[in-house]
Amino acid sequence: GQQVMQIPQYQHVQEGEDFTTYCNSSTTLSNIQWYKQRPGGHPVFLIQLVKSGEVKKQKRLTFQFGEAKKNSSLHITATQTTDVGTYFCASGGSQGNLIFGKGTKLSVKP
């Protein structure tokens, strides 16, 4: 079945440094969604990518969907303490199930 693998599992950065998390699948994905979960909170939708090679930006966040639609990345420029949390990619399969990766936990040192 559909599965997405995320790396790294943890990332510790100094405030102001950049951060990237990667999401990979062995199968072609129909789309990829990204969520952020703050400590003690619930996942919150960030964005959805659908097209091959798609790139979307939200302020300091840049999301990419690979040409083969088997991988995706989230890049944060100049991290801030408010970026702390766990970032999940989720695959919305053709049957509608939303399957999450294990997430990348980001900590930011001020």
Structure tokens, 7: 């790396």
Contact code string over 62-91 relative to other proteins, x by CB under 8 A: --------------------------x-x-
Chain center to CA of 100: 10
Nearest approach in angstroms of CB 66 to other proteins is: 17
- Tell me if 51 sits within 8 A of 45, measured CB to CB: no
Tell me how far apart the alpha carbons of residues 85 and 43 are, in angstroms, rounded to a whole number.
10
CB closer to other proteins, 48 vs 62: 48
Contacting other proteins (CB under 8 A), which of 42, 59, 82, 110? 42
Judged by CB under 8 A, which of 27, 51, 98, 109 binds other proteins?
A: 98
Between CA 87 and CA 71 the distance in angstroms is 15
Binding of other proteins at residue 100 (CB under 8 A)? yes
- Residue corresponding to tokens 């659908």: 50
- Which of 22, 101, 106, 108 touches other proteins by CB under 8 A? 101
